[in-house]
């Protein structure tokens, strides 16, 4: 029986400049909503609240 794939690959997008320098995975059981992570943006040269982009 194939195991259920609950880890989805997502991109993390900077809210200011829309670059997507990070790719990660999330668990859709634990995180059904949009993920937000504080990450460094190389274009803004600072930390931003990156949001999941699909
Ligand atoms: Zn940015």
| 46 CA to centre of ligand 1 in angstroms | 8
Which pLDDT score is estimated for 3? 75
Give residue 16's Cα distance to chain centre.
15
Which class is 9-53 in CATH? mainly beta
| 6 CA to centre of ligand 1 in angstroms | 29
| 36 CA to centre of ligand 1 in angstroms | 14
Domain boundaries, the chain: 9-53
pLDDT single digits (tens) 4-36: 789 999 999 999 999 999 999 999 999 999 999
- pTM for the complete prediction? 0.82
Cα→Cα distances 37→14, 27, 44, Å = 10, 14, 16
Which pLDDT score is estimated for 48? 97
Sign of the dihedral through C-alpha 30, 54, 44, 15: negative
Give residue 12's Cα distance to chain centre.
3
Which pLDDT score is estimated for 11? 97
| 4 CA to centre of ligand 1 in angstroms | 34
């Amino acid at each position: 029986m194939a195991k259920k794939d609950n880890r989805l690959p997502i991109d993390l997008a900077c809210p200011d400049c829309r670059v997507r320098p990070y790719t990660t995975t999330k668990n859709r059981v634990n995180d059904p909503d949009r993920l937000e992570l504080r990450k460094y943006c190389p274009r803004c040269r600072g930390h931003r609240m990156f949001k999941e982009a699909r």
